[in-house]
Structure 1
Amino acid sequence: MKKSRLTAGVVAGLVVAGTAACSTGGGGSSDGLTFMFRGGDDEKAAYQAAIDRFTEDTGVDVEVVVSDPDNYATQLQASIAGNQVPDVFYIEQANLQAYVNEGILLDITDAVDELGVDLDNIWDYGVDSYRYDGTLQGTPEGRLYGLPKDIGPFAFGYNATMLEEAGVERPDPDVPLAWDDWLEILKEVTVDTDGDGEVDQWGTGLNVQWNLQSFVWSNGGDWTNEDRTEVTVDTPEFAEALQYFTDLTTVHGVTPNPEQAQTLDTYQRFMAGEIAFFPVGPWDMSVYNELDFEYDLMPWPVGSTGETAAWVGSLGIGVSATSDMPDEAVQLVTYLSTDEAAQETLIDANIQIPNRIDTAQEWAAEPDAQPANRQEFLDIAEDYGRAMPAAFTYGAAWYDELWVDIQPVVDGVRPADEYLAEVQPRMQALLDQSNEDAARAAEQNAQND
């Protein structure tokens, strides 16, 4: 079994705050498997219930190592650095290539096939996210180094109660609003509700780093070309989308201004019933379903293409290449990702949409579904969801560069096109370096094999 090899690229910035309580040796022990993941109380309870059933069915004991989301990456890296890699663990899309090239992740392609797992009944995006052919990640031709823990379609939501009280018709669940039409609704619901002269209800309130993607894509722009070698942010389509986004605050005033957002962030304001339109991920359902108003889902508003777009994320579950129980570890991964009973446990906790397509379709069609238009999550997963720009590149420094000096644009003191023309060369240099690092790591891994 190939031992993991750590280079500076993998352990850079590692803060070892203590090694997680994982199995000794190369990962795995005669006593059973270790499974390391992150999550809140709902997710911990759901996974423990699923794993208890796995143990009952297979006789394989599983030691669960849980981290809070903020500390998970540090704990996992500490485990890797100390050669205490858990048998099974969560993997971020953006880390997959490095973990494969460093010999940390096991190729599970053949083992999954031997188990007879019906991958055609799992979302393509989820499965392909953990495929890697040595050059490109996310392609159907790549070898499989994990299975999806989940996929996270980032949908757009609205306060249905607020719109009804304002006399605004509910958005069509299938036909997206054009930017101009959406803006008119935003203006209509941005009001001073208590008559004190200060606006206290807004149309929307979006974060540029997490919400710009849909605007750019629906306007025909993108971050890179198809093979992820050229940064393409310096186009008229991209600039128009960014300018429209910032004008919502600086020109039209339909979002809380920076001072108001600092007093209470827009996520909290949406939950308080002060914002009409706001993004909704599957992970929000357990909280949003308890709100004092009705909310629902709709397609993201669209720019010049007339076609809505949204990003879809994913977490994966992988197997350590140094596990002493690789067969059982793969069995656990496939159980958590694809087993119908395990999926029901996670769905009931309202923390994700089903990985199984047939189960997801039944889930979306439930007569008492909350939100009612759950189908929007499935439409994103199946039809128009896209990976975040840096999800399948070897590092995200090139992508992160866009946000470093973007605040003057967001504040309306610098034109979007001017900033994008300036930042593109810096992003390109970082992407070039990323691709060079990926090629070098792949070559080194091939030599070590």
Structure 2
Amino acid sequence: MRKKGMAAAAVTVAGALLLAACSSDGSSGGDASEEPDTSGGDAPNELTFMFRGGEYDKLAYETAIAAFEEETGADVTMIITDADQYATKLQAAIAGNQVPDVFYVEPGRIQGYVYANVLADLTEYVDQSVIDNIWDFGVDAYRFNVETGERGLDGDPFFALPKDVGPFGFGYNTVMFEEMGLEAPSPDEPMTFAEFTDLAKQLTVDKDGDGELDQWGTGLNVVWNSQAFVWGAGADWISEDQKTVTVDTPEFAEALQWFADLGLVEGVTPSAEQAQTLDTYQRWMAGEIGFFPVAPWDIGTYNQVAADNPDTFGYDVIPYPVANAGDDWATWLGSLGIAVSENSKNKELAAQLATYLSTDLEAQKILAENKVQIPNLIDYATGEWLETDALAAGWPANTKAFVEIAQEKGRPLPGTWTYTPEWYDNFWVGIESVVDTGDQTAADYVAGKQTEMQMLLDQSWVSADQAKAQG
């Protein structure tokens, strides 16, 4: 996943939000022109495993699966594709009845795949003691009650295990702060919106004196970053029962307007035109931006940039800002699941592979050491990993912020629990009128969007009932 300018690509998110909610960007790995055989293995020990990712993911899984093969005698064929191609290739495999034995699945597709008899129920294959040691969201994201249509309830069957949980953290350029003599943000206490704005303004400068800004306080994509600020203002997209769209509140509008004003009024972000010339993700790594997202799937890349450019780039993780002192901070927590085909000819061995990749301690150590995810196992993540292994492997100094997100600060992206995410995707259609051009106030925008989004949410519930009836 790549973060562009304030709203660049904001309107191209339908269906992609939940797919890209976690894991690496998949910038390499898999030739889109090739159509690999994804069908499950035929021999008693053969399996196919289809996933998406880049070189870090590929190397980590090669190591982990080699250990699984040695332990079990299995013969696992890995099929890797990039993030943009994965959903299309998986859908084609399902349509062609060539479903891999084991494959990634995003939480938002669980209901449809279960009703279509694609996913195996994995509940019987995993001991409850193991489940109790996995982050709650990592299991709940894949729980589904076929009879009631409810999602994420404790005790319900689960149709995938977490590949990971992906805490979408916030970071700052440590080198920039040191160079400018600014006190580093607290690793524990969130800044207020006002404090963040003040720091961002101090960081926004014309360094070479040519009359043009060449360093900015921040450069955030509204599609991926506004959730944290909306939640930090006490607002949300949807009611707790997932039935009512709640974007038309004063708190929501104020948070969105503050976000827009970072660029439109305060001038602490690259303009939309500057972001098109060089997106803010690249500017962040070039040492031109002070605050930017930091998530596990970017750690390997960020570490390499810091090693190659120690005079301009270094980073650490901090809490997201909140509206007022004393407010609680939050951000989104994504996940990808590892599912097993209901029609796998080697279902028990496939379930063993899914369980191994998700819950085996040695496998989790391999994946975390290769910096593609934080560990799924709570006792390891909060103990040995956080105390020694993470820093030894090159994770950020304040990696405990990732663990804190997984424990309590993380929330699912809006749309995760509903049958379809179209209602949520609709929010971003036209958002550039608020954050890029300022032609519309946030208050007017959310007032108009609520009706559109509510209609789509209502239809999502109707579609869920129809799918259930047909399933």
Give the 3-state SS of the residue equivalent to 2:84 in structure 1.
coil
The answer to which of 389-398 and 371-380 deviates more is: 389-398
**Residue of 277, 285, 303 corresponding to 2:299:** 285
Q: 1:21 maps to what in 2?
A: 37
Q: What's the CA shift string for 1:159-189, capped at 9, x where partnerless? A: 0111122121111111100111111111111
Residue 339 of structure 1 pairs with residue 360 of structure 2: yes
Q: What's the CA shift string for 1:99-127, capped at 9, x where partnerless? A: 111111011111223xx761222111111
Deviation at 1:93, TM superposition (A): 1.0
Q: 2:169 maps to what in 1?
A: 155
Residue 219 of structure 1 pairs with residue 240 of structure 2: no
C-alpha distance in 1, partners of 2:291/2:203? 10
- The amino acid of 1:121's aligned partner reads N
Residue 373 of structure 1 pairs with residue 394 of structure 2: no
**Residue of 447, 451, 456 corresponding to 1:421:** 447
The answer to whether the 8 A contact 2:215-2:288 is kept is yes
Q: 1:172 maps to what in 2?
A: 186
Deviation at 1:225, TM superposition (A): 0.4
C-alpha distance in 2, partners of 1:409/1:71? 31
Residue 294 of structure 1 pairs with residue 314 of structure 2: yes
Residue 348 of structure 1 pairs with residue 354 of structure 2: no
**Residue of 51, 69, 72 corresponding to 2:83:** 69
Q: What's the CA shift string for 1:120-154, capped at 9, x where partnerless? A: 22111111111112322222232110100011100
- The amino acid of 1:298's aligned partner reads I
Q: What's the CA shift string for 1:178-201, capped at 9, x where partnerless? A: 111111111111111000111111
C-alpha distance in 1, partners of 2:200/2:417? 35
The answer to whether the 8 A contact 1:153-1:381 is kept is yes
**Residue of 380, 383, 392 corresponding to 2:408:** 383
C-alpha distance in 1, partners of 2:70/2:159? 26
- The amino acid of 1:143's aligned partner reads P
Deviation at 1:19, TM superposition (A): 5.5
Residue 430 of structure 1 pairs with residue 466 of structure 2: no
C-alpha distance in 1, partners of 2:41/2:142? 22
- The amino acid of 1:328's aligned partner reads L
* Aligned pairs for 1:182-331 within 5 A: 182-290=196-304, 291=306, 292=309, 293-304=313-324, 306-331=327-352
Q: Which runs of 5+ in 2 are unaligned?
A: 1-14, 16-31
Deviation at 1:247, TM superposition (A): 0.2
The answer to whether the 8 A contact 2:233-2:252 is kept is yes
Deviation at 1:28, TM superposition (A): 4.1
The answer to whether the 8 A contact 1:117-1:334 is kept is no
Q: 1:137 maps to what in 2?
A: 151
Q: 1:101 maps to what in 2?
A: 115
C-alpha distance in 2, partners of 1:425/1:120? 40
The answer to whether the 8 A contact 1:133-1:141 is kept is no
The answer to whether the 8 A contact 1:364-1:373 is kept is no
Give the 3-state SS of the residue equivalent to 1:296 in structure 2.
strand
Q: 2:386 maps to what in 1?
A: 364
C-alpha distance in 2, partners of 1:45/1:213? 32
C-alpha distance in 1, partners of 2:274/2:96? 46
Deviation at 1:17, TM superposition (A): 8.2
Q: 2:29 maps to what in 1?
A: none
The answer to whether the 8 A contact 2:218-2:291 is kept is yes
- TM (norm. structure 2) is 0.88
Q: Which runs of 5+ in 1 are unaligned?
A: 1-9, 11-15
C-alpha distance in 1, partners of 2:124/2:369? 31
* Runs of 4+ with deviation above 6 angstroms: none
Give the 3-state SS of the residue equivalent to 1:311 in structure 2.
strand
- The amino acid of 1:124's aligned partner reads D
The answer to whether the 8 A contact 1:88-1:319 is kept is yes
Percentage identity across aligned positions?
53
Q: What's the CA shift string for 1:228-287, capped at 9, x where partnerless? A: 111111111110010000000000001111111111111100100000000111001001
Deviation at 1:359, TM superposition (A): 2.2
* Aligned pairs for 1:11-50 within 5 A: 20-23=36-39, 27-30=40-43, 32-50=46-64
Q: What's the CA shift string for 1:390-422, capped at 9, x where partnerless? A: 122112111111111111111212111101111
The answer to whether the 8 A contact 1:173-1:299 is kept is yes
Give the 3-state SS of the residue equivalent to 1:430 in structure 2.
helix
Q: 2:134 maps to what in 1?
A: 122
The answer to whether the 8 A contact 2:371-2:395 is kept is no
Give the 3-state SS of the residue equivalent to 2:162 in structure 1.
strand
Give the 3-state SS of the residue equivalent to 2:105 in structure 1.
strand
How has the CA–CA distance of structure 1 residues 418 and 365 changed in structure 2, closer, same or farther, with 3 Å as cutoff? same
C-alpha distance in 2, partners of 1:337/1:90? 11
Residue 407 of structure 1 pairs with residue 432 of structure 2: yes
C-alpha distance in 2, partners of 1:219/1:339? 39
Q: 1:397 maps to what in 2?
A: 422
Q: What's the CA shift string for 1:81-103, capped at 9, x where partnerless? A: 01111111100111111111111
Q: What's the CA shift string for 1:40-92, capped at 9, x where partnerless? A: 11211211221111111111211211112111111111110011111111001
Deviation at 1:22, TM superposition (A): 2.1
- The amino acid of 1:301's aligned partner reads P
C-alpha distance in 2, partners of 1:427/1:307? 27
C-alpha distance in 2, partners of 1:270/1:60? 43
Give the 3-state SS of the residue equivalent to 2:427 in structure 1.
helix
Give the 3-state SS of the residue equivalent to 1:289 in structure 2.
helix
Give the 3-state SS of the residue equivalent to 1:131 in structure 2.
coil
Aligned length: 426
Q: 2:25 maps to what in 1?
A: none
Aligned residues: CA RMSD: 1.7
